[in-house]
Amino acid sequence: PWAHNGEQDDDYALMYGVAYSHASAGGKKDIAEKNTLSPPALDGDACHDRGDGKPGPCPLGKTVDERSWKDGPGIQQGLAVGVACGRMVAVAVTSANSLAFGFDVTDPTQPAFLFVHHLSPASKDKSPGVAFKEQTLGDIGVESVSILDKHQSPSGAAAVMFAGAHSGSLSLYEL
């Protein structure tokens, strides 16, 4: 529930960090708004504690329901279907809050829920820049999901691979 309809994307980058320096003028303005507490500079959306005691972009856990008015959690790019452990498996990832949902769809008329997993647990209490510096970020903005059988997987076990566009990460989770 701490990530329900929350959002965490490239706008939650730290001011003057790598993402900010590569952003367009409009992107820099959006990042600045997430880093600013209040006018006169901008209409700020920042939090008093970005996860390290300093003001800045809010951790995901403090953005509950921010996406509700827009489009909900959104599953736009993060969807894969494949065979793992002899079963047809579907994995979907929400784009705004990095929740992965797994289903057994071997019988598509009776899908079975397998798991839900947050791909960036550190985001509950830390903004992306803070979690990145601490090397606890996880996957944010997942745009690619692959289901690997044991022969394709580097670990030798069936797995799911996630690529985070905003986090610049690649993770492997065994099934």
CB 3 within 8 A of CB 100: no
pLDDT per residue, tens digit, the chain (175 aa), is 667 667 777 777 777 777 788 889 998 888 888 877 655 444 566 788 889 998 888 888 887 776 655 666 666 668 899 999 899 999 999 877 888 999 999 999 999 999 999 999 998 899 888 998 899 999 988 889 999 999 999 999 999 999 988 888 899 999 8
H or E segment to which residue 25 belongs: helix 25-35
Distance between CA 10 and CA 17 in Å, rounded? 11
Distance between CA 38 and CA 112 in Å, rounded? 46
Tell me the pairing of strands 112-118 and 99-104: antiparallel
